[in-house]
Amino acid sequence: MNSVPTDTSPFQIQPIGHVRSCYGEKFGAPRQPGLVPSARGMIVLEAPYHNPQAFAELQQFSHIWVLFIFHQALRDTWTPSVRPPRLGGNKRIGVFASRSPFRPNPIGMSPLKLERIEFLEQSTRLHVSGLDLVDGTPVIDIKPYIPYVDSIEDACGGYADTAPAIALAVEFSEAALVDCRALEQDYPGLEQLIRETLGADPRPAYQGQAKAQGETREYGVKLYDLNVRWRVRDGIAQVLSVRAVEAG
């Protein structure tokens, strides 16, 4: 068989937009799209990519594929194996058998629910939900999700063949519930967002021993410009407070 020449010279990909997300930091963001249905945000596209003609008929689709750059995981080198959280962070598998952000090319893809499209003079905004991306994520392409092609009935998911179970029950302290409900007018659905985000247990997978033994450490998750303080006791995420992030 004759070899086929390949061009391995580098090339550039320019972002077409950026994500505006309820997740201000990587910690707390879901590990996969759709795990937190209440996680909402938008993809903001500016000139020259905000032309309404580029989005004609897209509103007919319920979901879109968003291709993006793992901008918080940029490295000069890569490794052929990684430790996925789904396997407890202890077992190594091939990077191409994972969705790890630490890849030869740090490109990710997420299917997100398209809620609506907003056309403004200086930008176009795709409002989405089921978001798993942090604020500021560069977007490099958008494609429609086509069910008959993208949903394969007899597909096998290997070590991730089933959806993860809810990891933690979530309870609010009386003070945290007062905080949260006072903020609901400015952040609709905030309580449910907190319940779904913490229920997925965003703690690092390698903390398995601490998880098994129980811990007293207090965590903070940044949602919008709010700091949600919480800890885990006996398999329950206890929300301690929900406050505005302090400046400086």
**Statement: residue 248 has pLDDT above 70:** no
Residue 237, pLDDT score = 94
User: Is the pLDDT confidence value at 192 over 50?
Assistant: yes
Percent of the chain with pLDDT over 90: 71
How would CATH label the architecture of 166-244? 2-Layer Sandwich (3.30)
State mean pLDDT over 50-64: 97
Contact 198, 239 (CB under 8 A): yes
For residue 200, pLDDT over 70 is answered with: yes
Say what the pLDDT of residue 92 is: 92
Query: How large is the average pLDDT for residues 168-189?
Result: 94
Question: With pLDDT > 70 as the criterion, what percentage of the chain qualifies?
Answer: 94
Number of H helices, E strands in the chain: 4, 12
pLDDT at 191 over 70: yes
Q: What is the pLDDT of residue 51?
A: 96
Residue 59 has pLDDT above 60, yes or no: yes
Rounded CA separation 246/217 (Å): 21
pLDDT in tens, 125-140: 999 999 999 999 999 9
User: Which pTM value belongs to this model?
Assistant: 0.89
> How does strand 169-172 pair with strand 236-244?
parallel
Instruction: Please check the confidence at residue 78 and state whether its pLDDT lies above 80.
Output: yes
Could you tell me the fold of the domain covering 17-150?
Answer: Elongation Factor Tu (Ef-tu); domain 3 (2.40.30)
Please determine whether the domains at 17-150 and 166-244 fall in the same fold group of CATH: no
Q: Does the pLDDT value for residue 189 go beyond 50? A: yes
Q: Cβ of 65: how many Cβ atoms within 10 Å?
A: 17
Query: 60-69, 129-138, 152-161, 169-178: lowest mean pLDDT where?
Result: 152-161
Q: What is the dihedral of CA 204, 207, 208, 212, to 10 degrees?
A: -120
pLDDT(65) > 60: yes
Tokens of 230: 């919480």
Query: Where along the chain do its domains lie?
Result: 17-150, 166-244
Whether residue 210 has pLDDT greater than 70: no
**82/88 Cα distance (integer angstroms):** 12
Q: How confident is the model at residue 36 (pLDDT cuts 50, 70, 90)?
A: very high
